[in-house]
Amino acid sequence: MREDAAGAIWIGPLDLFRIGLGPSSSHTVGPMVAAAHFAALLPPDIARVTAHLYGSLALTGRGHATDTAVLLGLTGARPDELDPDDAAAIVSATQRRQRLRLAAGNEVPFSLAADIVFHPRESLPLHTNGLSFSASGPGGTVERTYYSVGGGFVVDGDGAPLDAPAAGHAVPPFPFHDGAELLQRADEAGLTIAELMRRNEQAVHPGRDLSAGLARIWAAMRACVARGLVAEGELPGGLRVRRRAPALLRRLEALSGANDPDLLGAMDWVNLWALSVNEENAAGGRVVTAPTNGAAGIIPAVLHYYDRFVTGASPAGIETFLLTAAAIGAIIKRNASISGAEMGCQGEVGSACAMAAGGLAAAMGGTNAQVENAAEIGLEHNLGLTCDPVGGLVQVPCIERNAIAAVKAINACRLALHGDGTHRVSLDQAVATMEQTGRDMSRKYKETSLGGLAVNVVAC
């Protein structure tokens, strides 16, 4: 992230799309990043480390693997680099030996049960996803507070992003704060939204190969789908939810071989791709935050739809999709939130649906106005969606919810492309409504597992 000329933080495509581990960007990826940041501050003579989790992190942290994410982060592990199999081995060895090797190389006594403390009835002041660390040794005590604010983004105890820019940094040539300003900037410059995003990103990160970065994101999405299509069995956590993607794949392949006449067959494939990603996410696999892990299946599913079913699909279209989706995600994050703990699931699934709808419209040749319309439709029709994971696990209703929203995104795109871009409700109005709805929404419907399906479905 970089700060633009107007003082707002520039959020680029490689900020919003991050490779990490499941099951949650805010409860797994963010806490791991925070723990790794804290571990890097510690001298090598530290003798004891403890972590405290508050609010939503405490209420659903065990189901979201927050405790193990913190443990892994303290070893110096990063979510974009750590192999899921290695993660399991590190956690197992630490629990067996009751000792943790910190990032600096020294070992300290460590108990997952005793040294990571949950405070479900307390919240820190800046965000419900708060966590603090304390480390002590002969040289004294080191303490830090962090907030995991959604999508893997982390801020410190003062609310400053961990990757806040230094003075004198480059600024984007076309800064925008909301959808109206984005459309104005693009139209004045004669650019598509994707072209504007590319120019901004290249100005802020002149040494970064943006195309290579986007290709890496798309490759990670495809790899996640591929793993999800072959992994069988039950998902971890005790709900006994079985993976459905492999069986659905076999059925669809059989139907395709029989020249299935179903005109809605493409929808089944979209469902399949979304399920495969979110089943991988629920199992702690490698996913791309898009813009969160809980909504990670929507954009990959719609991208697969574009790649397989849209005539003229191309690598350039994939880039256009991702760049455009990132612009929409940045608007939502800046003016509301992508955090389920703040907004409910409208902030996660609703944001991803809007991003996917707008991205697809752009990749299919839509005008900037049609792109904004598609994104607005995708977001508007997820307003009020609650986040109520059964058992604190990112499984029910999260997995199916991604499939439904992926199909909804495609429909939003099609509705927009059949129009000329004029519409009654703007994206900015939908975002403002989401922010207001999230502020008014009861805490029990915002990733706490205290209401909704989480209390009406038997968890075990």
Mean predicted lDDT score pLDDT of the chain: 94
* pLDDT at 265 exceeding the cut of 70: yes
SS3 6: coil
Residue 409's pLDDT is 98
Burial zone of 310 (CB within 10 Å; 0-12 exposed, 13-18 middle, 19+ buried): middle
Cα(304)–Cα(117) distance, rounded to whole angstroms?
A: 41
Please tell me which residue, 459 or 275, carries the higher pLDDT value.
275
Looking at residue 29, what DSSP letter applies?
I
Looking at residue 164, what DSSP letter applies?
P
SS3 102: coil
* pLDDT at 8 exceeding the cut of 70: no
Residue 259's pLDDT is 64
- C-alpha closest to that of 400 among 293, 233, 291, 271: 271
Residues 420-446, mean pLDDT to the nearest whole number: 97
Residues 263-289, mean pLDDT to the nearest whole number: 96
Beta bridge mates, 10? 2
Residue 164's pLDDT is 59
What distances in angstroms separate CA 220 from CA 300, 336, 343, one per listed residue?
Answer: 10, 28, 27
SS3 447: coil
Model confidence pLDDT, tens digit, residues 350-387: 999 999 999 999 999 999 999 999 999 999 999 999 99
Sequence-separated (6 or more) residues with CB below 8 Å from residue 318: 214, 218, 303, 306, 307, 363
Model confidence pLDDT, tens digit, residues 192-228: 999 999 999 999 999 899 999 999 999 999 999 999 9
Residue 6's pLDDT is 43
The pTM of this model reads 0.95
* Angle between helix 349-363 and 193-204 (nearest 10): 110
Q: What percent of the chain has pLDDT over 90?
A: 92
Residues 20-47, mean pLDDT to the nearest whole number: 96
φ, ψ dihedrals at 332, nearest 5°: -65, -45
What distances in angstroms separate CA 171 from CA 168, 289, 460, one per listed residue?
Answer: 9, 25, 52
Residues 70-77, mean pLDDT to the nearest whole number: 97
Cα(267)–Cα(404) distance, rounded to whole angstroms?
A: 10
Cα(235)–Cα(243) distance, rounded to whole angstroms?
A: 7
Cα(360)–Cα(356) distance, rounded to whole angstroms?
A: 6
Residue 168's pLDDT is 45
Model confidence pLDDT, tens digit, residues 149-202: 999 999 999 999 997 554 446 789 999 999 999 999 999 999 999 999 999 999
